[in-house]
Amino acid sequence: MLRTRVITALVLVAILLGTLMAPGHAPFALLTLMLIAAAGWEWARLNQAGQALGLVMAFALALTCAATLRAGWTEDAPSMAWWLAGALWLLAGGVALRSGPQRWPQLPRVARWIIGLVGLWAAWLAISRARAVGINFMLSVFCLVWAADVAAYFGGRAFGRRKLAPAISPGKSWEGVWSGMLGVLALAALWITLDRSFDFDSPSLYSRLAQELGWPGMVLALLALCGISVVGDLVESLVKRAAGAKDSSRLLPGHGGVLDRVDALLPVFPIALALAGI
């Protein structure tokens, strides 16, 4: 299992680096489009759509992303899109977490499909827009989520006592959440120092937030982004638990599905762009 996991990760990293090194941001946008379409198929199947209907939804999501790319939104998307996506995540996340795994399947299937597909489209648009801003900016958002996750894991293992959402994800604790936030603040301080020391292609998210909101505002914004990353993770865990599934799919050998790898990223990217004024 570990060997399969490592091989899959190396292949994905190689493909990702190839798209990042290619001229322009279209190759990266097309790669993420395919991944998001796969996530759309997983979401549909987890929410009681059959195989054929799931493929139709994935294709429709891919077409919507492609039309958005052709319209030039990855270069100049309306800033209101990020705020609307953030509002959707806060509303849908609140409904999902309040409903719990038992009541989630009782919500109208069409509403669940729309919530997921719109959220995936907004995340793809935000990731593509971040790539257009610059690789340093985009990577700083990715690393925020990864740093929060890693710090939360180790902090939860060392200090975890109070369960965050035992009915959804028994392994998560409030101490893990606080540890994740501290990890992100440490990462922000380091990255801002690097921004000042090296001539990157773009300022990082942290430098932009400090410039737009000031240092106190930046800290509050980063804490909010850490919190919303946890919401993304919990929502996907809730949907899987409601469907009786361990993984969103087996598309990525050793890793489960695409949703399993990007769940925390989905709400963070659009809200990060909104807070950074992009």
**Closest-CA residue to 228 (of 173, 163, 174, 177):** 177
Amino acid found at 185: L
Q: What are the helix (H) ranges across 22-106?
A: 26-46, 51-70, 73-76, 79-103
Q: What is the pLDDT of residues 146-184, one digit of tens each?
A: 999 999 999 988 887 888 888 888 888 999 999 999 999
What's the whole-model pTM score? 0.93
Domain count, the chain: 1
The residue segments making up the domain with residue 64 are: 2-275
Judged by average pLDDT, the poorest of 96-105, 118-127, 183-192, 206-215 is 96-105
Find out whether 106 and 150 touch, Cβ atoms under 8 Å. no
Q: Which two tokens stand for residue 240?
A: 């899987």
Coil, helix or strand for 185? Answer: helix
In 3D, which of 178, 205, 219, 218 has the Cα closest to residue 265? 205
User: What are the tokens at 232?
Assistant: 């993304």
d(CA 206, CA 96): 30
Q: In terms of Cα–Cα distance, which of 262, 39, 60 is closest to 47?
A: 39
